[in-house]
Amino acid sequence: MPALPCPAYNKRVSTNILNADLHCHSVISDGTLTPEVLAARAKANGVELWALTDHDEIGGQHRAMAAAQAFQLPYLTGTEISITFAGKTVHIVGLGFDADNTDMVQGLRSTRGGRGERAQEMSDGLAKVGIRDAYQGALKYAGNPELISRTHFARFLVETGVCQDTSEVFRRYLTEGKPGFVPHRWASLKDAVGWIVNAHGVAVIAHPGRYGFTANEEYALFTEFKAHGGRAVEVVTGSHTPDEYVKYADMAQEFDLAASRGSDFHSPDESRIDLGALPWLPGQLTPVWDLLAERIQ
């Protein structure tokens, strides 16, 4: 794929003022739009640098890249890898890696393994509280059965009127201690960062405000992430409050990490923040795209 220049990037005095959206999902994981429709939506919303970051899967990268190129929308490859850290599921975003890297493709395949069995167990848990056939119901929503996720169960429970919206489903059924929650052992932090770095990409801690870690656990996450070669953290994301923008801007500086910006858009009906609709990255931070200028296509 020939490299495209990123005109908006080259023109700006401060590269922080760039409408980059480096986190979203398509039907290849748990989003509801195709990569092509997402590219069109990103372009229409004024996004100037885009990455599609499907969960644990890079099978949509060539489609996303081709669609972005058709719209002259500068693109970085992306993914969001599920890992287990301190007993919780944490997400690591990878950006600007080689989409054909075999170790990464195989590593992601191994981390996807087990989602099917977990989904069956989730369905058994839901059956115990009177919700029947949830596995089949969720599967209908999964564009890619290998990536069946809690989001697909949430859509099924909204469809059948058990809950009003997906947040209510997560609150009542799909989080720790609730009937449809099944803990799962994902990849390790070291593996996920290693796959990304070895494929010439940059690893980013996704939405750190979401994990409910203690200060000590969070410190350990940032420290180990850096030790494994991680270089950035999401500061401005659809999953953070304005107070969290400030908190993680400070942590980015404390840990000498670059900062990323991404909506985490999944669906026009479910997502709070649309593609390209976030505040700018705080001026004192190094944007992650400064580390990736040569990887923009």
Rule CB under 5 A: say whether 30 interacts with Mn ion: yes
Beta bridge partners of 80: 55, 93
Distance CA 145, CA 59 (A): 13
Does residue 63 contact residue 37 with C-beta atoms inside 8 Å? Answer: no
82 binds, among ligand AMP, Mn ion, none (CB under 5 to 8 A by kind): ligand AMP
Distance CA 31, CA 163 (A): 19
Task: Single out the residue of 265, 266, 271, 278 in contact with ligand AMP (rule: CB under 6 A).
Answer: 266
Nearest CB to ligand AMP, comparing residues 55 and 295: 55
Rule CB under 6 A: say whether 30 interacts with ligand AMP: yes
Closest approach, Cβ 39 to Mn ion, in A, equals 17
Burial 62-91 (b: 16+ CB within 10 A, else e): ebbbebbbebebbbbbbbbbbbebeeeebb
Does residue 262 contact residue 238 with C-beta atoms inside 8 Å? Answer: yes
Residue type present at position 166: T
Closest approach, Cβ 82 to ligand AMP, in A, equals 5
Distance CA 136, CA 256 (A): 46
Nearest CB to ligand AMP, comparing residues 239 and 286: 239
Rule CB under 6 A: say whether 151 interacts with ligand AMP: yes
- Ranked by CB distance to Mn ion, the top (closest) residue is 91
Tokens standing for residue 235: 């500061």
Rule CB under 5 A: say whether 91 interacts with Mn ion: yes
170 binds, among ligand AMP, Mn ion, none (CB under 5 to 8 A by kind): ligand AMP
Rule CB under 6 A: say whether 57 interacts with ligand AMP: no
Judged by the rule CB under 5 A, the positions of this chain that interact with Mn ion are 30, 80, 91, 206, 264
The residue ranges that bind ligand AMP (CB under 6 A) are 30, 55, 82, 149-151, 166-167, 170, 266
